[in-house]
A and B are shown apart, each in its own frame.
Chain A
Amino acid sequence: MIRIEDLRFRYGEGDFQLRIPELAVESGTTTAFIGPSGSGKTTLLNLIAGIIRPEKGRVETRGVEVSGLSDEERRRFRITTVGLVFQEFELLEYLTVLDNILLPYRIHSALTLDSSVRERARSLAERVGISDKLDRHPRRLSQGERQRVAVCRAVLTDPPLLLTDEPTGNLDPVNRERVLDILFDYVEDSGTTLVSVTHDHEILTRFGRVMDFRDFHAFGEAGSGAAGGAS
């Protein structure tokens, strides 16, 4: 599903450099990236999604070498293949909950918004318990509700790869469990690959595999993947 070879990335002329000799994530698995702030977890997520390009090396997702795609091709790749959930939710304040969920269908011609998509959005909202808030704007929602909207937006396109950055970072324990239930239920039902960056050690047991960026070694499914490294 995801294959990384000899990856190197640096932000400008800064000291930080991400180096990953080899990494593989299989389809349909759930993987957590953990490690201290600044160790490169989110950067790796962005590289996998094609938001940024590596200085060197290959990032291949579902047989596509993302790092070799043009800017516009990578956008098309993301909108059709990747579902993204951000730590700060990144909902648009001027759109209602329903419009926020439908957003991917309005910003790229690769996706067509029709009645079936709307129906699916409503169905997802119902599944995560926000169907009565579809006409509200994000500022009138609780943190947990906003995160659920973000999850709905990420999975609406039925992406084979779901990347989440601190999906429970801003949530209380009850909402944390609720969002995780939603994510893992969805992954289980759809067979989607889930890669998640987290600081929350309490949720690690729910992932099939955990990669620690601190000691550059993957743990969990021993020997199932190569180590990542950050320096």
Chain B
Amino acid sequence: MRDTLYLALRYLAFHRVKTAILVAAITLIVFLPVGLRVIVNQSSQQLTARAEATPLVIGAKGSPTELTLNTLYFSSDVPARTTHAAAAEVTETGLAHAIPMYVRFRVRDRPIVGTTLEYFEFRGLRIVEGRQLAILGEAVLGSRAAKRLGVGPGDYVISSPESVFDIAGVYPLRMPVVGVLEFSDSADDDAVFVDVKTAWVIEGLGHGHQDLSRPEAAAGVLRREGNVVVGNASVMQFNEITPDNIDSFHFHGELSDFPLTAVIAVPPDQRSSALLQGRYQSAGLSQIVNPTEVMDELLDTILTVEKFVIAGAVTVGLATLATTFLVFALSLRLRSRERETLFKIGGSRTAVATVMTSEIVVVLAAGVLLALCLTFLTQRYGDVIIRALIR
């Protein structure tokens, strides 16, 4: 057996291109449906688990899927904005705790999540390095975000401009990293958390600049009209909030009008949840969604698509398998002279058959093994793939 296997391996090694193509074909035949199944299972588990841990999400009317994906996974598709008043309304009902969410900006490809300290408690997120957010302008990073950005407590992160061509847009804000969260194997690991007010500063709704009432800032005064001082372009705006300049930071406008992408509502019981959902059933500018229901709908769509994809993969797989066997059959036919030589020399029928069979078995085994490796990798890194797809 060892000798016949050796001959089979020599043949496959000599015809390495043909062997590689056959192995790749077998790998794809096995991996496509299995890998897809694994990805779908994982995504279904992930989507369901996080959705089930998030009771209700309130946002502006629009796509419930977009609202849910942005709130749960911080996806880059920003839903229609609601206002901070929506969070206040929830709190006023007394039916749920309201956690404001503003997920619009990024630090490179990592989402900046503007929220309150209640979010960390709600998700059970713990600081493993440094400390929790304390003052305006600070940032706490998820474990993966800290690793990818290569920063930790004492370092800084800078918000990315939304468009380099938007010269009237918001300026990047330099934020000190004060803490890193424990790994939670969720979307939180990829996020840069800031206070919701810091997110508004990034938006440009709040800012800090030189105090124009001070004599040294006189050069920056364009005109004074009573209590109103109008500055010129030379007035320096701060792009970092420090203990020295924090007092100069202020917000223009009503806090209740400031934007949020969503409000996570955490009712204490089922009754409160039902009552709260009832309040939002009537026509209005806001919508309330149950993330579990949204994800179930999304999964139904994914499962339907998966069925089509698997059906396609199986069809292509069968065709490839048939072609593979045709290649083997033709190869055996072309090698009839070689078989004859082996028989003439005195090769036993068993040995010659074993050589030829071993070649097929080795190719099939290599293909299946490679497919299993790919499946293992998919299982191991499936969550990364899913997160990348959602992002």
Taking Cβ atoms with an 8 Å cutoff, the residues of A that contact B are 49, 51, 71-72, 75-80, 82, 84, 86, 90, 92-95, 99, 103-109, 113, 137, 153
Contact = CB atoms under 8 A, between A and B. Distances in A.
B348 A95 contact: no
The contact size tier of chain B is: 20 to 34
A6 B329 CA distance: 42
Interface in B6-32: 6-7, 10-11, 13-15
A75 B14 contact: no
Contacts of A109: 348, 351
Nearest to A159: B346
Contact of B351 (A84, A86, A107): A107
Interface of B: 3-4, 6-7, 10-11, 13-15, 337-338, 341-349, 351-352, 355
Contacts of B349: 71-72, 75
Contact of B10 (A75, A78, A94): A94
Contacts of B11: 94
Contacts of A75: 343, 346-349
A51 B7 contact: no
Contacts, number: 73
A75 B349 CA distance: 9
Given A90-B344, A106-B7, 7 more contacts: A75-B346, A75-B348, A80-B346, A94-B15, A95-B7, A106-B3, A109-B348
Contact of B14 (A86, A107, A137): A137
Given A94-B10, A95-B7, A137-B14, A108 B347 contact: yes
Contacts of A95: 7, 10, 14
Contact of A104 (B13, B346, B352): B346
A93 B342 CA distance: 13
26 contacts: A51-B344, A75-B346, A75-B348, A75-B349, A78-B345, A79-B347, A84-B344, A86-B341, A90-B341, A94-B10, A94-B11, A95-B10, A99-B10, A104-B346, A104-B347, A105-B3, A106-B4, A107-B345, A107-B346, A107-B347, A107-B355, A108-B346, A108-B348, A109-B351, A137-B14, A153-B345
A49 B10 contact: no
Given A94-B11, A94-B15, A76 B346 contact: yes
Most buried by B among A71, A104, A105, A108: A108
Nearest to A51: B344
B5 to A, nearest CB: 10
Contacts of B337: 90
B356 to A, nearest CB: 12
Nearest to B355: A107
Most buried by A among B3, B338, B342, B345: B345
Contacts of B355: 107
Nearest to B338: A92
Contacts of B345: 78-79, 84, 103-104, 107, 153
Contact of A107 (B3, B10, B13, B15): B3
A49 B344 CA distance: 8
Contacts of A99: 10
B332 to A, nearest CB: 14
B22 to A, nearest CB: 15
Given A95-B7, A106-B7, A113-B3, A78 B344 contact: yes
Contacts of B348: 72, 75-76, 79, 107-109
A86 B340 CA distance: 12
A51 to B, nearest CB: 5
A64 B3 CA distance: 29
A78 to B, nearest CB: 4
B1 to A, nearest CB: 10
A80 B348 CA distance: 12
Contacts of B347: 75, 79, 104, 107-108
A52 B11 CA distance: 28
Contacts of B6: 106
Contacts of A94: 10-11, 13-15
A78 B345 CA distance: 7
B344 A107 contact: no
Nearest to B347: A107
A93 B14 contact: yes
Contacts of B13: 94
A200 to B, nearest CB: 22
Contacts of B10: 94-95, 99
A79 B341 CA distance: 12
A79 B13 CA distance: 27
Contacts of A90: 337, 341, 344
A178 B70 CA distance: 83
Nearest to A154: B345
A103 B352 CA distance: 12
Contacts of A113: 3
B4 A82 contact: no
Nearest to A105: B3
A76 B341 CA distance: 15
Most buried by B among A103, A105, A113: A103
